[in-house]
Amino acid sequence: MFGECGVFGGGERYAFELARHMADEVETVLLTFGPRERRERIGNLTVRVIGNPWYVRGHPGNPLALSMISQLPGADVVHCYQQHVLATSIAAIVRRALGQRVFVTDLGGGAWDISAYISTDKWFDGHLHLSEYSRRTFGHEGNVSAHVIFGGVDGRKFTPTVAPVLDRAVVYAGRILPHKGINDLITAMAPEMELKIIGRAGDSRFLSDLQQLAAGKRVTFRHDCDDVELIEAYRAALCVVLPSVYRTIYGEETSVPELLGQTLLEGMACGRPAICTRVASMPEIVEDGVCGFIVPPNDPVALADRIGWLREHPAEAAAMGAAARQRALEKFAWPLVVRRCLRLYADANAKLRGRPAPNR
Quick one: which of 299, 86, 289, 109 has its CA closest to 187? 299
The pLDDT > 70 percentage for the chain reads 94
User: What's the DSSP call for residue 270?
Assistant: T
pLDDT of res. 110: 85
What's the whole-model pTM score?
A: 0.91
Q: Decide if 44 contacts 51 (C-beta within 8 A).
A: no
Q: What is the pLDDT of residues 95-121, one digit of tens each?
A: 999 999 999 999 988 899 999 999 999
The answer, yes or no, to whether residue 1 has pLDDT greater than 50, is: no
Q: Would the pLDDT of 6 be above 70?
A: no
Mean pLDDT value of segment 259-271: 96
Task: Say yes or no to pLDDT of 355 above 60.
Answer: no
Q: Which residues pair with 293 in a beta bridge?
A: 275
C-alpha distance across the termini of the chain, in Å: 33
Among 19-33, 75-89, 92-106, 344-358, which stretch is predicted with the lowest mean pLDDT?
344-358
- 88 touches 80 (CB < 8 A): yes
The Cα 280–Cα 299 span in angstroms is 16
275-304 CB burial, b ≥16 within 10 A, e <16: bbbebbbbbbbbbeeebbbbbebbbbebbb
d(CA 130, CA 337): 10
Residue 251 above 80 pLDDT? Answer: yes
Q: What is the pLDDT of residues 130-171, one digit of tens each?
A: 999 999 999 999 899 999 999 999 999 999 987 766 668 999
Please check whether residue 172 is in contact with residue 147, taking contact to mean a CB–CB distance below 8 angstroms. Answer: no
